[in-house]
Amino acid sequence: MEWSERMEQLYALIGHLVQLLALWWQQLAERLWLQREQLRLWLEQLGVPAEQSLIVLYACAYLLVTLLVVLLVWRVMRRRRPVTGRPAPQQPSIAAQDAAAVATKPVAGEATEAVTRMAEAPLSLFERMRRGLAKTHDALWGRLDAVLGRAERIDAAVLEELEEILITADFGVKTTTALMTALQQRARSAELTAEAVRAVLREEILALLRAEVAPLELSASQPFVLLVVGVNGVGKTTTIGKLAQQFKKQGRSVLLGAGDTFRAAAAEQLAIWGERCEVPVIRHSEGADPAAVAFDAAKAAVARKVDLLIVDTAGRLHTKVNLMEEMKKIHRVLGREIAGAPHETLLVLDASTGQNALVQARLFQQAVGVGGIVLTKLDGTAKGGVAVAIAAELGLPVRYIGIGEGIDDLRPFDAEMFVDALFAPPARSTSEQS
């Protein structure tokens, strides 16, 4: 019998007993009231005053009912107590159950191990890039494939739909116009097909991303000073920690400067990254002058002869004049202590902000001079086209992209691999391959 059924029976029994007790109590009270004179005389003989006899009668009745209830509960609990001496059935141990399951299903166990081994297999660099750009790929390739797949020929209506797809993928109006112009020029010279459209878009986007910009040469100066700027919340401190780890793996000595003295716990966050990467951090107390932090970090970098100094800065908007002046002061201090410093100013942008990231890049470039872009959070957005817009409209190289949360998911930007991941056909599932 199930536990719920037993409880229902117990509740029914208790309810029945309560009704019986209420009826018995009513009958008892009536009898006491009819025989109250006799009971009062009996109590007087026992020495109870006449004015308290009625109270004593009710107290005795209450004690009697309480005793009966206690006896009833004791009886019920005794009936539910298991009988001693009768051994309870033994359940098989967990080990025995596992052994039986393995013995009865060897094929399933082998299949599970095979799946686990496949899941633990390291992904190739291209596959990691492809997974990181999955949302942008779906927004671009998926919609392109849908439009081109149903079109019998590439006409003005189809080109208009393609233009809308590029704009909604955050390629920007200017970049989209350039891409559509290339498609129209190809259409004048030869008939456009679906494959030709994909090929033209791929070639033009790759050409825009391969801007003639000098690569990041850390050996150009010792120490090489890297200044990291951007607005709040884009992941500057995390980016600095990942960069420090990667450069240290390359055998370079790194020093970090915690120049973000404005945001609470920013220096502590960078110090945690320093401990994790085993990289020293120069820091001051919260609210200190960031230029003083930059000065001490530059002095320490020269004295310790490190290869790379990375300086963090407080998140700032281009509209905050005082913060932008503070940035210029940091520039002057670094340049006075180390010739040519900062040698590179990296602007960290959140890809999920789309065209707002392009606006930030344009205004920071005008205010402090930006040498390269770090585009973070690409794995969580379908607006990856903003990387093409930044390169095309501002001529700024995308130095690094973030396609995940791991340290190795901050990747040096490879334009060809980026475009291949965007235009790669959807991966076939296991069921389709079989």
Does the annotation flag 322 for ligand binding?
no
Q: What is the phi-psi region of residue 251: left when phi exceeds 0, alpha when psi lies from -120 to 50, beta otherwise?
A: left
235 known ligand binder: yes
The residue behind tokens 């492809």 is 130
Closest-CA residue to 229 (of 402, 371, 398): 371
248 is in an annotated binding site: no
- Bridge partners (DSSP) of residue 345 are 227
Does 236 count as an annotated binding residue? Answer: yes
Show the CA angle centred on residue 124, arms to residues 122 and 126, nearest 5°: 150
Burial of 255 (0-12, 13-18, 19+ CB in 10 A): buried
| CA distance linking residue 103 with residue 207, whole number of Å | 60
d(CA 240, CA 272): 12
Is 379 assigned to a binding site? yes
Determine contact, residues 171/389, Cβ cutoff 8 Å: yes
Give the whole-angstrom CA distance, residue 231 versus residue 82. 70
- Rounded Cα distance between 346 and 214, Å, is 14
Q: Give 141's DSSP letter.
A: I
Q: Which residues lie below 8 Å from residue 96, measured CB to CB, with a gap of 6+? A: none
- Would you say 314 is a known binding-site residue? yes
Signed CA dihedral, 284, 290, 296, 300: sign only: positive
- How is residue 280 written in tokens? 């020293």
State yes or no: cis peptide before 223, omega within 30 of 0: yes
181 is in an annotated binding site: no
User: Would the annotation count 15 as a binding residue?
Assistant: no
98 is in an annotated binding site: no
Instruction: Tell me how far CA of residue 9 lies from CA of 5, 76, 235, in angstroms.
Output: 6, 12, 63
Q: Is 354 annotated as a binding residue?
A: no
The structure tokens 């401990």 sit at 275
Q: Is 231 annotated as belonging to a binding site?
A: yes
316 is in an annotated binding site: yes
User: According to the annotation, is 430 in a ligand binding site?
Assistant: no
- The annotation places the binding site for GTP at 230-237, 312-316, 376-379
- The annotation places the binding site at 230-237, 312-316, 376-379
